[in-house]
Chains A and B, each alone.
Chain A
């Protein structure tokens, strides 16, 4: 036990928490007499500095095996996931500065930073207790962010639904963890794996795995645990939705892939052949198939932009679960690349919605009509994000899908569920292309509903977010090895 080592490993979290407290202190002492605009910008600047400091902290913590007796692990996945989460949090904060109209700006920034601290801790956790605490820190902050706009009843309702589903999934997770603890006598992942390899399958283990997977399905918004996602994406403030849809996904998948493969790996079973063998892999495959089907077909029926993005997120969760399935064989590269680029494209799409909403209303898909005349920058970036989500080369979304599907087909060809899932996902990508193009048609082709509608002004902060994410999606699509090489 070495506390200095622990402090070094937790530098990013320390920077984020100190930043959050500084933002609050500054607002309470110097911000009282300032206008709301000034307070927002001061809070965002402090928040951005904290995120940048956390990035340096994550880099300087470097790569080490196990820290503090195996409580935390600093491997390549931790480093990449921490940096990815921090980058997405930085984009969210910048977007907040550009577009949000908040009554309590410093509190909002502070809670975003607390949530980010939870995400970075989730990326490093290697013990059930730390994993649970990090997950709850992130979740509780996200519930508050979803309900932050007190003037709109939709925001409160979305937050309440998110909270009730989230609380239930936390209870399932804790019950599953307690059974795992009882079965293996340990809460540290390496020991759990060691014990599980000795014990083999048992009914109690199956129950524990099902309970953990329920919580995972909730966090990933996988069908049939997706019910909160459309309501939260629609009702929450746009900036909160952006964080929930991007950084929270990345951190959640990092945590659960670490839990499932290094921790519960001996109980994985197999989906490479048609007969397979029991374990959690067949269950994840079922979740993946259900999410792919439900997400893609339900998205077709949507007329609200944010609900459509939510259902497309459920469909993407299906592909990400396929990435979890292949992670044991092909490594973490495909999954991480897919989730990270998905987060970038989603945060970009929400940035477009935030900017359009600032100038008026952005609820129905038809509200996007004539975006190419009202703001060419917005329309161009929107096209990049949606085409990346749809998986059109040369954007990053295409290569993400390609690596995941290729790895799935490598598992056992078409002999088993993994291959079939890949085929299903490829077929459903065509369905997905349809609903993305419906949105793009409104933005790029249809004339504005009102010919005299004013151009949409793009604030400088939001423009940075838009251009940065669009450029990154193109560059990562052209040079995917930059990310894949890490693993």
Chain B
């Protein structure tokens, strides 16, 4: 069985998404969770590029435009995320998620 390039890209991006998801759910360090989320976002970006590249050749570059914007959004998200991680670090002197457990019920 041979896979065409689009299928390979989709398999790769799905794998990347799953790796990111597992990382985001299983890691206890907040920064690594953030990394997992970024991987998931990048998996989606690869999808957009692949669908644009292997789509109809006359189509406008929608996929690429989407990716440019979503990279900018991911950067903004990382900035906010790191700021919040610093805010948590100031109070509990570490960034382990298990110890962020004041709120429950």
Which residues in A have some Cβ–Cβ distance to B below 8 Å? 128-129, 132-133, 136, 140, 143-144, 147, 150, 153-154, 156-161, 163-164, 167-168, 170-172, 174-175, 177-179, 181-182, 185-187, 230-231, 234-235, 301-304, 307
Contact = CB atoms under 8 A, between A and B. Distances in A.
Nearest to B76: A140
8 contacts: A133-B69, A136-B76, A143-B80, A144-B80, A153-B102, A161-B103, A175-B43, A178-B66
A178 B33 contact: no
B56 A185 contact: yes
Chain B binding surface, main DSSP class: helix
Contacts of B43: 171, 175
A359 B31 CA distance: 38
Contact of A132 (B62, B73, B88, B102): B73
Closest 9 CB pairs of A and B: A171-B40, A178-B47, A182-B51, A153-B91, A174-B44, A156-B87, A231-B103, A167-B37, A175-B44
Contacts of A167: 34, 37, 77, 81
Chain A binding surface, main DSSP class: helix
A146 B48 CA distance: 32
A178 B34 contact: no
A133 B62 contact: no
A226 to B, nearest CB: 13
Contacts of A182: 47, 50-51, 55
B90 to A, nearest CB: 7
Contacts of B41: 170-171, 174
B87 A178 contact: no
Contact of B40 (A136, A147, A175, A230): A175
A156 B86 CA distance: 9
Nearest to B20: A171
Contacts, number: 126
A164 B92 CA distance: 18
Contacts of B81: 163-164, 167
Interface residues of B, number: 44
B40 A168 contact: yes
A178 B65 CA distance: 12
A137 to B, nearest CB: 9
Given A164-B37, A175-B43, A185-B55, A136 B103 contact: no
Interface of B: 17, 20-21, 24, 30, 33-34, 37, 40-41, 43-45, 47-48, 50-51, 55-56, 59, 62-63, 65-66, 69-70, 73, 76-77, 80-81, 83-85, 87-88, 90-92, 100, 102-105
Nearest to B81: A163
Contacts of A186: 62
Contacts of A144: 80, 83
B66 A175 contact: no
A185 B6 CA distance: 14
Contacts of B50: 182
A158 B70 CA distance: 25
Given A156-B91, A303-B105, 8 more contacts: A147-B84, A156-B88, A160-B88, A161-B100, A168-B24, A174-B45, A178-B45, A181-B51
Contacts of A301: 105
A422 B83 CA distance: 43
Nearest to A136: B73
A303 to B, nearest CB: 8
Nearest to A231: B103
Nearest to A311: B105
